[in-house]
Amino acid sequence: MKKNLLFIMILLLTFKTEAQTSVLKATDSILETGNYQTALAELEKINEPSSEILEKIASIYQKVGNNSKAIEYYDKAFVIKPTDKIKEQLGKSYQSIGNPDKTIELYNEVLQTNPNNLLLKYNLAKLYMSEKKVKKAIELFNELSNKDSLNPNYPYQLGIAYEKLGKSGFANSANSFLKAYKIDSLHLKSIYNLAKFYRKLKFKDSATLFIDKGLKINPKSINFNQLKANDAFLNKEFDSALVYLKKLEDLNFKTMFTYKMYGLTYLNMKNYKKAEEYFKVAQGEDYKDASVAYNLGLVEKGMKNYKKASYYFAMSIYYQKPKLDKNYYQLGLMQLEQKEMKIALKSFEDGYKNNWKNHQLLFQLAMTSDDYYKDKKIALQHFEKYIDSFSDRDKKSTLYAKQRIKEIKKKLFMDGEKID
């Protein structure tokens, strides 16, 4: 009797396993058509699903971007059959929902039991980078480079990591890019970073060498054409600079960089009309760009349009001025708190001179002048200016300013003082 019962249980278990395997195969066929909802509906019908079924459901939810559901089903699968594979997938889902700490914890657990999982180690290093844990990323990228010395991507990523350390990692980043280049002389990303590195050091020949290598591999590269145009300009090879700027235009790369470079190139060639044309386009992109205004001043000066030149030079000064109005405003408020009214007035005045569009500063200047000066005409001027310029900015301030204007004028009239 016991043998028969055991036989029946084994038979039922086998039947259940085969049935679920059959459903998995059918689901795979449905998934090939991209019909994820139908596949999920079929899988979720199963009573007492196996770990494989739960993993499949979790993976579908992961693919459609429902990572909370994916975590729920991966957790259920892990309870039945704990594996490193499920831990990895859980890590990916936690990363997708914005929980990198949990991802790092899970990845490290997997790597403790399987330290040769280089792909996971690479993903963990990239995650460390994104979380600004650069030193840990460097440690892993170094390890990966030593374990797989023929993969150029590892020293390349190591170079990117060292770059993030700033000056302290500058030399190591270049050495890493150079190592990647030696492994694969067609590794464009490393070539590009080496070109930038030598440009920063002002090693013109080395920079040009790597720029030309990059262009030979990919003549349509935006990055290398930009570098080449700039390189030619710095070497005063203006005709050559125009050739590469034209290539950038043909690649539909029309940005402030190209407009400015065109303008500067034509300016150096004394073709003022063409320079003006491109600087005007750049100004249309960013009216407050101080360098564009300055170069337009040089263009107009070259064409002897001195009035226009003066206008552009003045504009370049105005837009180059740092915006300190908010700083002055807060400083003035703190000085008022300490009963330093005269000093606060100076801060509000300096702030308003720095940015005459700051309505809060003008209102505070009026208020403080009203409290500090016996001569109410000073406050009156500020209040009237506030109403003329900013009456629509703040209802309470506007009502107060209008009321004070009436009161001050009435007082001045009663005192027999003339009001302009």
pLDDT in tens, 78-90: 898 899 999 999 9
Provide the sign of the torsion angle of the four alpha carbons 297, 301, 305, 310, taken in this order.
positive
Q: Where do the structural domains in the chain lie, given as residue ranges?
A: 21-115, 338-414
pLDDT band of 388, cuts 50, 70, 90: very high
Span 194-247, pLDDT tens digits: 999 999 998 989 999 999 999 999 999 999 999 999 999 999 999 999 999 999
Mean pLDDT of the chain: 88
pLDDT at 43: 72
Span 5-46, pLDDT tens digits: 443 444 333 334 444 555 556 566 565 566 667 777 777 777
Average pLDDT over residues 168-174: 93
Provide the sign of the torsion angle of the four alpha carbons 367, 370, 372, 373, taken in this order.
positive
Span 280-315, pLDDT tens digits: 999 999 988 999 999 999 999 999 999 999 999 988
Check pLDDT > 90 for residue 160: yes
pLDDT at 123: 95
CATH 1.25.40 fits 338-414, yes or no: yes
Superfamily (CATH) of domain 21-115: Tetratricopeptide repeat domain (1.25.40.10)
pLDDT at 420: 61
Q: Which H helix or E strand runs over 182?
A: helix 170-183
Q: What is the pTM of this model?
A: 0.69
Average pLDDT over residues 98-112: 95
pLDDT band of 416, cuts 50, 70, 90: confident
pLDDT at 157: 96
Q: Nearest-5° angle of CA 16, CA 21, CA 22?
A: 95
User: Do the first three CATH levels of 21-115 and 338-414 match, i.e. the same topology?
Assistant: yes
Check pLDDT > 60 for residue 405: yes
Question: Which pair of tokens denotes residue 410?
Answer: 């009435």
DSSP string covering 223-239: HHHHHHHHHHHHTT-HH
| Residue at token pair 């979720």 | 44
pLDDT at 278: 96
